[in-house]
Chain A
Amino acid sequence: MISVEEFTNQLAAEFEDVEPNTIFPDTNYRDIKNWSSMYALIIIAFIDANFDVQLNAENLKSTQTVRDLYNVVCEKMK
């Protein structure tokens, strides 16, 4: 598994409108500029395509930061 920093960089690249270097592991991803429910779909698609891990709405609800997401992915990959 990649590092949490690399995970954050890859995830940040999925959001076109987001300025570079504004998302960090401890960023609450719902605070991303112009956040909408569509962004949640981007996150689910990103994790599905890159880590073959399928998250559901409940998994997302239990997370706040990018690091939380990373930890859920690591846990599900075990």
Chain B
Amino acid sequence: MPISITHISTYLPQNIITNEQLAKEFNSSVELIYKNTGIKQRYGSGPGEIPSDMAVKAAEQLFVTSKIDKKEIDFLIFCTEGFDHKGPSTSCLIQHRLGLGTHVGCIDLPYGCSGYVYGIGMANALLTSLMATKVLFLTADIPSKVSHKKDLELRSIFSDIGTATIITKGEGEQHFIFGTDGGGYDNLIVDHSATRNPQIEGSFLEDLPYGHMKMNSTEVFLFAVKRVPVLIEDILKKHNYSIDDIDLFVFHQASYFMLDVIRRKCKIPKEKFFVNIENFGNSVSSTIPVALYDAEQKGVLKKGMQVVLAGFGIGYSWGATIIKY
């Protein structure tokens, strides 16, 4: 595999939102919220805390734990759907905040649930074309700040987390499958967040200054349970692998229920399918690195394992690859 994920760190905001809190606020029950989502707790960013703040904290943590010299980083990719400004690229601001060298190339990657696979794909392209030797890939999002306060469904699923990953060149070939169906764009969308439908003065949207996330959960569910099994079949076929050749499957942690249906459709044994949404929620582009980090901490993921990564969702957009961890 030509890419190697050498280090991952995560930044979890201090604000943990429990089912007890949501049940009280919405006059619902802890059991019902858990039954519908498979989630016990999710994270909420602090007042005024935005994705770049979370990504910077994850990166600072990574430099402490990995002991990697910041000077070695020659490319920075920042994946989020909540940039600081429409210009300049937020990755430019992060380069400065982290004290990275001025030789660093910077790209913003405006992707959601498929963003981690896209970021690895971009890092792979940069590394194999010798444009970079060590890529710092950051992910962070603030779904809690674009969810309406009365929307229990969104508030019970989504979570604000930042992550940092170091990607370097490995040996061999790295294969990817990517796909897009923009026809599903309005089934999961952060509306009123940019130029198409600007904010409307005097509406409830004033409570949502960063935009208003809307989700047609039935349509998104149907998209995922139809598309992801084909995606997994295709990425295995591209490597001439079967499920037996894979040590672990780490998918975007969309919802417990959706993952379970997808796992059964793909005929992946439970012990090879990592799920940690219960304690972290759906943190958009951060779910896969959060899961990789968590799986390694729990001893489920070990160095040298063959791992299928798959991201899918908002766009619709999807992607998969197989890494040797």
Residues of A within 8 A of B (CB): 14, 16, 36-38, 41-42, 44-45, 48-49, 57
Contact = CB atoms under 8 A, between A and B. Distances in A.
A48 B218 CA distance: 12
B115 to A, nearest CB: 25
Contacts of B265: 49
B225 A36 contact: no
B257 interface: yes
A37 B37 CA distance: 12
Given A36-B35, A45-B226, A49-B226, A16 B264 contact: yes
Contact of A45 (B35, B36, B221, B260): B221
Contact of A38 (B36, B222, B264): B36
Contacts of A44: 218, 222
B261 interface: yes
A38 B217 CA distance: 11
Interface in B270-295: none
Nearest to A49: B226
A45 B257 CA distance: 13
A41 B218 contact: yes
Contacts of A42: 261
B225 A45 contact: yes
A48 B227 CA distance: 12
B225 A16 contact: no
A57 B217 CA distance: 13
Q: Could you say which of A37, A41, A42, A45 has the most chain B C-beta atoms within 10 Å of its C-beta? A: A45
Nearest to A36: B35
Given A38-B36, A41-B221, A44-B218, 16 more contacts: A14-B264, A16-B264, A36-B35, A36-B36, A37-B36, A38-B257, A42-B261, A44-B222, A45-B221, A45-B222, A45-B261, A48-B222, A48-B226, A49-B225, A49-B226, A57-B218
Contacts of B225: 45, 49
A37 B257 CA distance: 11
A42 B265 CA distance: 11
Contacts of B36: 36-38
Nearest to A39: B257
Contacts of A37: 36
Contacts of A14: 264
Nearest to A48: B222
A14 B257 CA distance: 13
A49 B222 CA distance: 9
A74 B179 CA distance: 32
Contacts of A49: 225-226, 265
B183 to A, nearest CB: 14
B35 A16 contact: no
A51 to B, nearest CB: 12
B164 to A, nearest CB: 34
